[in-house]
Structure 1
Amino acid sequence: MQALVYTFIALSALAVGGISYFGLTFTPAEAILASIVFGCVCVVLLERSLRQRAEQRLERAIEDLSRLLATDAQAGAVLGQRINAMADVNAGTRLEVVEADISVLGTVIRQVAEAVAEIEEKTKAPAPGSRGRVAAAPPPAPYREPEPTIGQDVLRRAIDENRLVYHIQPVVTLPQRRPQGYDLVPRLRLEQGQMADRDEFMPRRGGDDLRRQIEGIGLVEAITISRRARTGGQPVTLYVPLSRATLSDQAAAEQLIVSLEANRAIAPGLIFAISHSEWQALTTGERALADSIAKKGAGFSVTDVRSLRIDVAELAAQGVRSLRIDAAHFIDNPEAFTDFHASDIANYVARFEVKLLATGITSERQIVELLEDGIVLVQGPHIAAPGPVRPDLVLEAGRQIGQLRRAE
């Protein structure tokens, strides 16, 4: 290729000499000199371009080599770190921990086997004077929530008159008692000006339409507060009440999903509080809806948990972020909740990124005992009672609630 270029240069030089001699009336010596000068200039320019091209190729090769050397050095550093980490691992200690866990597990299995054998012996052995009949132990009385003192008709009229308000109650982190989130607490303003709490008016049997309406109002207010807080640069976590009354209704469920889809930016700050009994009773369709809620970024907080002998990993996969237990019951009778030691259960649950939340704190002694057990999320009247939201947020929420009711 380079020989062809030089041939073209020679031909061009001859052409310049011929033009100079015949066209410009140069003497033969001048024409030959012009041809030689033109050829030399062309050769110099060609060599210069070739040298520049070679230098550029050399620079690119040096850069590639530098990158390869840097990559090799980084790989060597990572390999060195891994080798150091493997050298620092004390396999003997880890094996001892595993052996200790296996030993504890064996002890627990042996205790369970002994307890089962003892129960079987007591069942087979008839009590004296009972004529071969064994008196069965009475089953534990099921937990029954108190019936509301305010009827559904009064509640429906109060909602129509816009006397249902939502207050907030903080959930704090110990020991600093810094707010981690806020519960949305529905309260009813009575005609006498007094405030009725949730247990006094929330329907227990029937009244699903009222529960859906109350929870819909709570969702609107939660979205309003979250958006206003996020705009102000202080995002908050809100625990919004939820029940099967909303999940089982197609229109209410669609409205819930649409609201979350339209507010994906604040969805991670919304945690729906649902009771443990209703969570366990969810149907296949309701469970699919709960999964859709979790995919939108929101989470769940299971309330009224009376036993921690549950699959925490499964709950975490379903979007559950916290389990709520009664503080007084857990402190007085931890064996009713779990077979773990009271100080170990919080760490065990935290392995699955689920937190224990103790509710109903009534004294400072309970806080100290919960701290000793590793439970750092608490709530209750001793921490703070439910209170109203800031007036500007309440007004904005009131306008949106009014629009929601007119749409219904």
Structure 2
Amino acid sequence: MAALTVLLHGLAVAAAASVALGLPVLRPEADPALGWLGGGLILLAGSVLDLHRRLARRERDTLRRLDSLQRSVDALAERLDRRIASAEAGDSAAAHEAVLQEVKLLHTLVARLGESRPPEAPEPPRTSPPSRTAFQAPRPPDLRSPTSVAAPPMDDAAVLEAVRDALAADRIDIHLQPIVSLPQRKHRFFEVFSRVRAADGVVILPDRYLEIAERAGLMATIDNLLLVRCIQLIRETERRQHAIGFFCNMSAATLSDAEFMRQFLDLLAMNQALVPKLVFELSQQELRAGGAVTMGILSQLARIGFRFSMDRVTDPDIDVDALLRHEIRYVKLDCALLLDPAMDVRIADVRRRLEGTGIDLIAEKIETETQLDAILRSGIDFGQGYLFGGPRPARKPP
């Protein structure tokens, strides 16, 4: 191609020279300048033709390159579509499997409602009530929340029947209460609560049904259902890309339910990313009374990556080494206990022994700004209570 270009260029120069030199000889009467002008025009025409040819060739080369690039882009797009389709198929399969596992769990829980369970032996008298309101005076209902609707007078048999019916009809509602960082008051966690909704829409509060359900052997079923719902809530926040964790109560009855725990761990094996966002909460009494089986299950959950919280603390004499050994990373202390002058020395000792351990204190049942000011002066990390928001219904995941 280069030789042809040189040859054509040489021919154009030769033709131009022939016209420039030969025209005066062939036409003596003509102006000699015309020969040079004609030769120049021929040379210019040759140059223009050569330039046009070069531009045409460059355009063809450019079009070929563009065509090649387009084919490459099309091929990459096709490969990307195949990979996306493959990934979506895999995600869909995983999600489908997770839903099947949840349905299996829920089916197991509901099936247990028909089982006859002997009443549990009455517990010996306790020096302090196990209720979450051990240090909190009764408060008026929050009229802004539907959860505050008080149930009409019901005897224990009616309450038990309402609980069984609510479990069978999936009317155990989930409510969330924020746990905030101090002093910023930024939502860091939500605690998950259960509420029993009767067939007529009346909400039966925990202080009315918990003891009755426990005597009837239904608390494990309620707690287990709560755990499944909690996993669904965490998955929903993952889809919305919300960085927040959930505290979920776990009773000794749930820990000792080997069949449920096995299925629950199978479910979590398909949702490993959700594990760090779930904190199991046990009472101080249950942790102290836990036998080898309970502590063994806690250790197994800790190896998977779970963290724990201890609440309903009635005795500030806390074994910090035991907390660390069982991955208990949060301790909840009642606001009234923290602000009791008689407890100042013991609470200060607890805070001193927890420093540098990675265990955070949560002050719960904070209801007034005055209480909050006193809590802030004590250097507590997190707060919970009606001052920051009461339990509110959680939107059911799709």
Specify the TM-score bucket, using the shorter chain as the normaliser.
0.5 to 0.7
Gap change, CA 1:234 and 1:206, over 3 Å in 2: closer
Aligned length: 251
How far does residue 238 in structure 1 lie from its aligned partner after superposition? 0.4
Determine the structure 2 residue equivalent to 1:358: 363
Determine the structure 2 residue equivalent to 1:339: 346
Gap change, CA 1:338 and 1:192, over 3 Å in 2: farther
What CA deviation, in whole Å up to 9, does each residue of 1:205-255 have, x standing for no partner? 844641121112111111111122123222320011100111112212212
Does residue 1:237 correspond to 2:245, yes or no? yes
Q: Secondary structure at the match of 1:301?
A: strand
Gap change, CA 1:205 and 1:227, over 3 Å in 2: closer
Q: TM-score, normalised by structure 2?
A: 0.58
What CA deviation, in whole Å up to 9, does each residue of 1:74-94 have, x standing for no partner? xxxxxxxxxxxxxxxxxxxxx
Once residues 199 and 162 of structure 2 are traced to their aligned partners in structure 1, the CA distance between those partners, rounded to angstroms, is 10
Match of 1:375 among 371, 380, 389: 380
Query: What amino acid sits opposite 1:292 in the alignment?
Result: Q
Q: Secondary structure at the match of 1:235?
A: coil
Residues 208 and 245, structure 1, Cα contact 8 Å, conserved in 2: no
Determine the structure 2 residue equivalent to 1:317: 325
Identical aligned residues as a percent: 26
Residues 309 and 338, structure 1, Cα contact 8 Å, conserved in 2: no
What CA deviation, in whole Å up to 9, does each residue of 1:181-218 have, x standing for no partner? 00001011234423232222113684464112111211
Determine the structure 2 residue equivalent to 1:197: 205
What CA deviation, in whole Å up to 9, does each residue of 1:253-295 have, x standing for no partner? 2123223322211101100111110111111011110001111
What CA deviation, in whole Å up to 9, does each residue of 1:342-398 have, x standing for no partner? xx64353142111111111121111100100011311111220111223xxx043xx
Determine the structure 2 residue equivalent to 1:144: 129
Determine the structure 1 residue equivalent to 2:301: 293
Residues 220 and 254, structure 2, Cα contact 8 Å, conserved in 1: yes
Determine the structure 2 residue equivalent to 1:266: 274
Determine the structure 1 residue equivalent to 2:220: 212
Q: TM-score, normalised by structure 1?
A: 0.57
Residues 172 and 194, structure 2, Cα contact 8 Å, conserved in 1: yes
Q: Secondary structure at the match of 1:265?
A: helix
Once residues 156 and 226 of structure 1 are traced to their aligned partners in structure 2, the CA distance between those partners, rounded to angstroms, is 26
Determine the structure 2 residue equivalent to 1:95: none
RMSD (Å) for aligned C-alpha atoms: 2.5
Q: Secondary structure at the match of 1:203?
A: helix
What CA deviation, in whole Å up to 9, does each residue of 1:293-346 have, x standing for no partner? 1111111111101222222132122110111111012202452x85353xx643
Determine the structure 2 residue equivalent to 1:85: none
Q: How does 1:3-402 map to 2 (within 5 A)?
A: 142-145=127-130, 151-203=159-211, 206-207=214-215, 209-333=217-341, 335=343, 339=346, 341=348, 345-346=350-351, 348-390=353-395, 394-396=396-398
Q: Secondary structure at the match of 1:171?
A: strand
Residues 213 and 219, structure 2, Cα contact 8 Å, conserved in 1: no
Once residues 345 and 281 of structure 2 are traced to their aligned partners in structure 1, the CA distance between those partners, rounded to angstroms, is 22
Larger RCO, structure (CA 8 Å, separation 6 or more): 2
Once residues 160 and 234 of structure 2 are traced to their aligned partners in structure 1, the CA distance between those partners, rounded to angstroms, is 30
Once residues 334 and 265 of structure 1 are traced to their aligned partners in structure 2, the CA distance between those partners, rounded to angstroms, is 44
Query: What amino acid sits opposite 1:293 in the alignment?
Result: L
Query: What amino acid sits opposite 1:175 in the alignment?
Result: P
Gap change, CA 1:309 and 1:387, over 3 Å in 2: same
What CA deviation, in whole Å up to 9, does each residue of 1:43-92 have, x standing for no partner? xxxxxxxxxxxxxxxxxxxxxxxxxxxxxxxxxxxxxxxxxxxxxxxxxx
Once residues 200 and 345 of structure 2 are traced to their aligned partners in structure 1, the CA distance between those partners, rounded to angstroms, is 45
Runs of 5+ unmatched residues, structure 2? 1-124, 134-153
Gap change, CA 1:350 and 1:252, over 3 Å in 2: farther
Gap change, CA 1:149 and 1:339, over 3 Å in 2: farther
Q: Secondary structure at the match of 1:176?
A: coil
Residues 261 and 296, structure 1, Cα contact 8 Å, conserved in 2: no
